[in-house]
Amino acid sequence: MEVKFTIPTLDLSFLKKINISHIILISLVLRIFVMTFPNDGGKIFDEAHYTGAVNKILEGVHANPEHPPLTKLIVAGFIKIFGNYWFAWRVPMVICSITSTYLVYLIAKEFFDEKIALLASSFLIFDIIWFIHGNIFMLEPPAMMFGLGFILLYLRGRYKWSAVLFSLACLSNEKALFFLIGVGLYSLMTDKILKDTKINKQFFKMWGTFALIFCVLGVGTLGVIDSVLKPSKATNINIGIQHTIIQDVNGSILRTETATSTHTNQVYINKPIEHALMMWT
């Protein structure tokens, strides 16, 4: 008697119909589901620090000056509209995360075909660190979104607008500087620097324009925000001690009294360069 075994085959033809909208929809559903936990006022990781800093900003005080202010200003706007609770803290991060997924897809298409681009965006939505950070109030999601936009526009030759997005990325999180390092290395490897005079001039002209826009928009915006909110970089505490000796008519010491006084004053950041150096250190 002959026994035949059949191995079931999976019909994967449906994979050919998947496009970027399906991946974005999957990411959105997962993030909206996870975003709601905790929803009882509990905070995750640095949410405890940043929500307090945003509330201070809404009071006109620039708290948490060791990090750039843009992400906190975005959340402050959402709190103004929706109220101070988990939805207002986290929905901007979900929006930035979904947008970043699409930007990764577009960047990958600059180098590869549709399948590889879809695979790249899929890797991003299932990366566990990015998945967690993209659902809660952290500084990274806006910086990631603006940074990926910077890379995409740079690859497409729109250098002025790429400089604008890079400035916004740095105003969201100082770690956005790593995007510039990556793009700089890519440019050096692909533009044949020092081999062609025309390319060489074009390269330095492009980066000169880029640096000018970044200084005007990035550093200038930081200076405007500092002038309005007046962030404090330190608190000076002056302690005064006064000793008083009580004597009788014969000059004998009856007792000694000590009075202590404490005076505090804030040291404010006055220059954007000073603020940038503070964040760096």
φ, ψ at 10 (rounded to 5°): -90, 135
Q: How confident is the model at residue 126 (pLDDT cuts 50, 70, 90)?
A: confident
- Model pLDDT for residues 14-37, shown as the tens digit of each residue: 557 788 999 999 989 988 888 887
Q: Is the pLDDT of residue 266 over 70?
A: no
**Identity of the amino acid at 172:** S
| Number of domains into which the chain is organized | 1
151 assigned to some structural domain:
yes
- Choose from 106-120, 124-138, 158-172 the range with maximum mean pLDDT: 106-120
What confidence score (pLDDT) does residue 234 get?
63
4 assigned to some structural domain:
no
9 assigned to some structural domain:
no
126 assigned to some structural domain:
yes
- Model pLDDT for residues 237-256, shown as the tens digit of each residue: 667 677 777 776 676 776 77
- Model pLDDT for residues 201-227, shown as the tens digit of each residue: 666 767 777 788 877 777 778 888 777
Residue 231: which domain range?
17-247+255-280
Mean pLDDT for the chain overall: 81
- Model pLDDT for residues 78-93, shown as the tens digit of each residue: 999 998 888 988 999 9
φ, ψ at 44 (rounded to 5°): -110, 135
What confidence score (pLDDT) does residue 7 get?
56
- Cα–Cα distance measured from residue 99 to residue 114, given in angstroms and rounded to the nearest whole number: 18
- Model pLDDT for residues 46-73, shown as the tens digit of each residue: 888 899 889 888 888 777 888 888 899 9
149 assigned to some structural domain:
yes
120 assigned to some structural domain:
yes
- Cα–Cα distance measured from residue 165 to residue 223, given in angstroms and rounded to the nearest whole number: 18
225 assigned to some structural domain:
yes
Segment (H or E) for 263: strand 253-268
Q: Is the pLDDT of residue 190 over 90?
A: no
1 assigned to some structural domain:
no
